[in-house]
Amino acid sequence: MGKSYRVVFEKKEKVAKDAYTFYFRRGDFPDFIPGQYLRLELPHKADDRGTTRYFTISSSPLNKKYLTITTRIIKSTFKKELLNLKPGTKVNVFGPMGWFVLPKDEKEEKVFIAGGIGVTPFRSLLTSIKDKQLEKPITLFAAFSNKENFVFYAELADIAKKNSEIEVVYTDLRISSDLINKYIADIQKPIFLVTGPPAMVEEIKKLLLDLGAIDEKIQTEDFDGY
């Protein structure tokens, strides 16, 4: 169960056309598992969506200096407030929370499928694998509306380049059966983790089932309204 913590905003980094990573000094924020998320509070004169949002943690659990979130900047009062945070500003976060984490069977092949900013939990996971120098059979598919919105591509492609067990596939097209079949030899073998907008997640799960994937091996998480 999560708890409330006070963290200090330090900097932001533009990582795609309309997406930024925000860095907070981790302080006493506790250990977490890749895939978990936090609730961020920004007191301001808010629209009807309020002064809090949920964000998956995009940094590695082994990064003891920074706690990061990565998000698209859209036209909301919260995102405007977030974008304009000044270094040194203290904010409240609540966490870590969430069950969308790597299955415990470490030897089984994993396939991650992300729509847009839904790639954030997989960035946390893959960087932690790199930090621990582990070998795990993982294929990541990430689909974006266009190449200008590719988030973390260079970083994750570099991790894959240095780890023969990891394959990273980014596309500005829809994820198709042909693309999956190109990289996945036996559709019934892997555990699938799917993240993204609700409609995309539903579409991908149907596609996987039509290809013969095992329902019990498909884990999903909607990224709705981020």
The domain limits of the chain are: 3-97, 110-222
Q: Do strands 166-171 and 110-115 pair parallel, antiparallel, or not at all (unpaired)? A: unpaired
Class of domain 110-222: alpha beta
What pLDDT digit, counting tens, does each position of 177-199 carry?
Answer: 999 999 999 999 999 999 999 99
**pLDDT, position 135:** 81
Q: From 3.40.190.10, 2.60.120.700, 2.40.30.10, 3.40.1710.10, which CATH number describes the 3-97 domain?
A: 2.40.30.10
What are the tokens at 61?
């659990």
**Which residues of the chain register pLDDT less than 70?**
100-106, 224-226
Least Cα distance to 166 among 203, 116, 130, 204 occurs for 130
Q: 172: number of CA atoms within 13 Å, CB side?
A: 8
**pLDDT, position 94:** 98
Element (DSSP H or E) covering residue 70: strand 66-72
